[in-house]
Amino acid sequence: MKLRNSPAGKASDVAVGYLMRAGIDGGGDLASASKAAERALAATDDPEQAIDRIVATHTRLAAAGGFVTGLGGFLTLPVALSANVVGFYVVATRMVAAIAAVRGHDVSHDAVRTTVLLTLTGNDSGKVLSRAGIGMNGIAAAALQGVSPAALMMVNKAVAFRLFAQVGQKSLARLGRAVPVVGGVVGGAFDAMLMHRIASHARMHFPQAPRELRADQSAERG
Which pLDDT value is given to residue 206?
Answer: 94
Residue 2 has pLDDT above 80, yes or no: no
Average pLDDT value for residue range 194-209: 92
What's the pTM?
Answer: 0.80
DSSP 195-207: HHHHHHHHHHHSP
Residue 53 has pLDDT above 70, yes or no: yes
Residue 79 has pLDDT above 60, yes or no: no
Domain extents for the chain?
Answer: 2-221
pLDDT band at 139 (very low <50, low <70, confident <90, very high): confident
Which pLDDT value is given to residue 105?
Answer: 95
Residue 95 has pLDDT above 50, yes or no: yes
Residue 216 has pLDDT above 80, yes or no: no
**What does the pLDDT look like over 26-50, one tens digit per residue?**
977 789 999 999 999 999 989 999 9
**What does the pLDDT look like over 98-129, one tens digit per residue?**
999 999 999 999 999 999 999 998 888 888 88
Helix (H, G, I), strand (E, B) or coil at 76: helix
